[in-house]
Amino acid sequence: MTAAPQTADIAEPVPITRHRQALQVILDNLPLYAAMYTLCDLRIPDRLARSAATVDDLAEWAASTMCAPNLSRDYLQRVLRAAHAYGFLRRDPGGTYQVTDVGLTLRSGIPDTARTALMRAALQARSVHDAAAVRPLPSRDLSNPINVILHRLDLYEALHLFCALRIPDRLDHAPAALDDVHAWCQRAGAEEGSGPSPTLEDLVRLLRIADAQQWIYRTPSGTYRQTDAGHMLTQSAASGGPSMWPAVMTYALPPWWQPLATMQETVRTGTPAALNGHRTLDDLMAGQPASAARAIAAFHAWQSAAMAPSVADAIAAHADTIRTVITIGGSHILLAEILHRHPHTKGVHVGRGRDADTAADELARRADPGRWAVTCGHAQRVKIPIGFRPLYVMPGLIHNADDRDARDLLARVAAAMDASGPGSILWLVETVMPDDVDPHPSIALDLLQMTRTHGGRARTRAEYATLLRKAGLRVSGDIAAGQHAIIAAHTARDQPPTIPEQRALVGLAENATLPAY
């Protein structure tokens, strides 16, 4: 599908990757807004306006000023890193922070009007689209990074309502006039139980925003047509296409947004405030309606589908040696794609009990029964399978765990690899944080993990290498995989284990704990 032209002339098609990147920037902006709000709440710009300071100085000052004796230095440093990457602060090589001209404008804080309906709804733990009103986009000077973040926050609110009303699905079927789209929205709102649908005036405002962002195209006659970007937002494409609908919808769930909305409290107390006594995000999700669970499952499938082509391509480069693939955590979609692309391989998906039936159904649809198996443990406890020189793939799993739990899980995978004999390989597929401090998707990931897990974080290659080494593995190289990186590791063992060693290794591998994801 080619994007519709915006004028009478034929426009150059916009690559799909550019549409995906533009939408991902809007999603990644949510943690950045929370970090900016936290910076103001802790009055960091006020302190740095007086003089430069180290993170220790700032932590001591904020703890004293905010009466927060449990303030987390680590959490504060992660917020400061985001502020440095996006130009609010500047960190010199010696580790001292200074406020930039842009950061100085934050001394007066962020106006409460910037806390959109989305944020207010999240803080009140209610449905985001209880009210379907659409705010006009404020006129802002987008040369100012702060205004860019606020602008993208407004865009996300419009993007979420656009997807919640399934307007992209209607236009994927056929072009439609305004009245047809309005009737569709009324039906969609009633079917989803999403509360009142937008008025005609609000819908026109929403469609105007969507047209400006190229999510749709409004023809000179007033008919609305689908675009490539709009197709990526359809619910119907979520299971097998490049749809970003699951991500847009998941970020609006209260258990997803509330951690970000309470970031400042997380930094002050040194523990994720939104978990509120719950041990994991899973526990927080337990009280949500079934529709939220479905959205989360679709989001996990979307994450795996996004990385699957790159992982399958990497396997193609080692097709002569890889015969068995074992995926640990994440969605079964990754293994399904690998088996579909590589008919010579067999595979096992290691997941959680709640995912077993869905995984089996999808794998049965995409591969012959004799080529795959699903092993799901009770709750988070799983058994890591033993094979003949298998490739173990852990997709986006380790960033959900703190260092201790990550080392323990990797050590148990290493035991399975040792039991499988020399030649076993492990691939960690992660969004790796670069050593520099330029804007990068890993910063948004790190802030998300800080607020919704106990110790999860984005890591640099060096930090992943340290975890692997302490687990008894050695890094053997990196493989580019789109926005992700594949970190390959082998065991140090060069001889098959003895029978007693084999039994001990199997015992370790059969008692692994997957982090919440």
- Per the prediction, the chain carries an average pLDDT of 85
Smallest CA-to-CA distance from 233 within 209, 216, 257 is with 216
Residues 413 and 394: beta-carbon distance below 8 Å: yes
CA angle 415, 418, 420 (to 5 degrees): 110
- DSSP string for residues in 112-149: GGGS-HHHHHHHTTS-GGGS---PPPPP--TTSHHHHH
261-285, pLDDT tens digit by residue?
899 999 999 999 988 767 777 777 7
Q: In the prediction, which pLDDT does 125 show? A: 38
* Sign for the pseudo-dihedral over CA of 285, 291, 297, 298: negative
Q: In the prediction, which pLDDT does 430 show? A: 95
- 226 φ, ψ (degrees, to nearest 5): -75, 155
Q: In the prediction, which pLDDT does 122 show? A: 44
Q: In the prediction, which pLDDT does 124 show? A: 40
Residue type, 158: A
Tell me the β-bridge partners of 373.
Answer: 348
Give the span between the Cα atoms of 384 and 355, in whole angstroms: 16
More confident: 473 or 141:
473
59-81, pLDDT tens digit by residue?
999 999 888 999 999 999 999 99
CB neighbours of 245 closer than 8 A, spacing ≥ 6? Answer: 163, 168, 233, 234, 235, 237, 238, 298, 302
Q: In the prediction, which pLDDT does 289 show? A: 79
**Considering the entire predicted model, what is its pTM?**
0.88
Give the span between the Cα atoms of 440 and 436, in whole angstroms: 10
Domains and CATH numbers, the chain: 17-105+117-257 (1.10.10.10), 304-513 (3.40.50.150)
- Alpha-carbon torsion angle 448, 454, 455, 458, nearest 10: -20
465-516, pLDDT tens digit by residue?
999 999 999 999 888 777 789 999 998 787 888 888 889 999 999 988 888 7
Q: Tell me the percentage of the chain whose pLDDT exceeds 90.
A: 51
Residues 204 and 263: beta-carbon distance below 8 Å: no
Give the span between the Cα atoms of 155 and 375, in whole angstroms: 41
Tell me the β-bridge partners of 473.
Answer: 491
Containing 238, the helix (H) or strand (E) segment is none
Least confident range of 177-181, 254-258, 440-444, 488-492: 254-258
116-127, pLDDT tens digit by residue?
444 444 444 334
What single DSSP character describes residue 176?
A: B
Mean pLDDT of 292-314: 85
Does the pLDDT value for residue 438 go beyond 50? yes
Does the pLDDT value for residue 14 go beyond 50? no
* Residue 102 burial (C-beta neighbours within 10 Å; 0-12, 13-18, 19+): middle
β-pairing, 216-218 with 97-99? unpaired
Q: In the prediction, which pLDDT does 272 show? A: 93
Residues 422 and 409: beta-carbon distance below 8 Å: no
Smallest CA-to-CA distance from 48 within 77, 108, 90 is with 90
Under the banding of pLDDT at 50, 70 and 90, the label for residue 58 is: very high
Under the banding of pLDDT at 50, 70 and 90, the label for residue 402 is: very high
More confident: 104 or 16:
104
Q: Where are the alpha helices (DSSP H) in 44-116?
A: 44-50, 55-65, 73-85, 101-104
Give the span between the Cα atoms of 482 and 309, in whole angstroms: 9
Task: Tokens 């922070």: give the residue.
Answer: 97
Question: For the CA atoms of the chain, what is the radius of gyration?
Answer: 24
Mean pLDDT of 245-272: 89
- DSSP string for residues in 458-515: ---HHHHHHHHHHTTEEEEEEEEETTEEEEEEEES--SPPPHHHHHHHHHHHTSEEPP
- Alpha-carbon distances of 121 from 23, 28, 35, 116, 255, rounded to whole Å: 22, 19, 19, 9, 11
Going along 266-309, which residue ranges are E strands?
Answer: none
Q: What are the contacts of 466-472 at 24+ separation with CB within 8 A? A: 467/398, 467/403, 467/406, 467/407, 467/410, 468/410, 468/426, 468/428, 470/407, 471/407, 471/410, 471/411, 471/413, 471/414, 472/411, 472/414, 472/418
Q: In the prediction, which pLDDT does 242 show? A: 65
Give the span between the Cα atoms of 395 and 338, in whole angstroms: 13
What single DSSP character describes residue 286?
A: T
Smallest CA-to-CA distance from 306 within 4, 6, 2, 20 is with 20
More confident: 377 or 250:
250
- DSSP string for residues in 179-215: HHHHHHHHHHHHHHT--SPPPHHHHHHHHHHHHHTTS
Q: In the prediction, which pLDDT does 123 show? A: 41
Under the banding of pLDDT at 50, 70 and 90, the label for residue 11 is: very low
Q: In the prediction, which pLDDT does 19 show? A: 83
Does the pLDDT value for residue 224 go beyond 70? yes
Give the span between the Cα atoms of 68 and 269, in whole angstroms: 7
Q: In the prediction, which pLDDT does 271 show? A: 93
Residue type, 387: G
Mean pLDDT of 382-395: 93
* Composition of the chain by helix, strand, coil, percent to 5: 55, 10, 35
Under the banding of pLDDT at 50, 70 and 90, the label for residue 240 is: very low
- DSSP string for residues in 428-449: EEE-PPPSS-S--HHHHHHHHH
Does the pLDDT value for residue 13 go beyond 60? no
More confident: 307 or 286:
307
Residues 227 and 3: beta-carbon distance below 8 Å: yes
